[in-house]
């Protein structure tokens, strides 16, 4: 385990604890956590539909009668 204590300019300090007896060290998401959040927010259905639309377009071009003669 590694704890890296850095000051990151531009990040707002957000404390979540209500217990004031102990100091709270704020954290920022890791790169993996940020990527995970991005993947969760993706609309996979819309992405798949766009991909299928592109594949259908390529199929029509490749299998067009004019292309068979070329």
pLDDT of residue 52: 96
Please say whether the beta carbons of 15 and 26 come within 8 A: yes
Higher-scoring residue by pLDDT: 50, 18 = 50
Using pLDDT thresholds of 50, 70 and 90, give the confidence band for residue 32: very high
Rounded to 5°, angle at Cα 19 from 5 and 36? 50
Instruction: Please name the residues in contact with 32: beta carbons below 8 A apart, sequence gap of 6 or more.
Output: none
Torsion-angle region of 19 (φ positive above 0: left; ψ -120 to 50: alpha; else: beta)? beta
Please say whether the beta carbons of 14 and 26 come within 8 A: yes
Domain regions of the chain by residue span: 42-69
């Amino acid at each position: 385990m590694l704890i890296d204590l850095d000051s990151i300019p531009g990040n707002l300090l957000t404390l979540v604890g209500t217990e004031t007896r102990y100091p709270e060290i704020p954290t920022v998401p890791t790169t993996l956590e940020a990527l995970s959040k991005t993947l969760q927010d993706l609309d996979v259905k819309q992405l798949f539909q766009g991909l299928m639309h592109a594949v259908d377009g390529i199929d029509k071009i490749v299998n067009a009668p004019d292309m068979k003669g070329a």
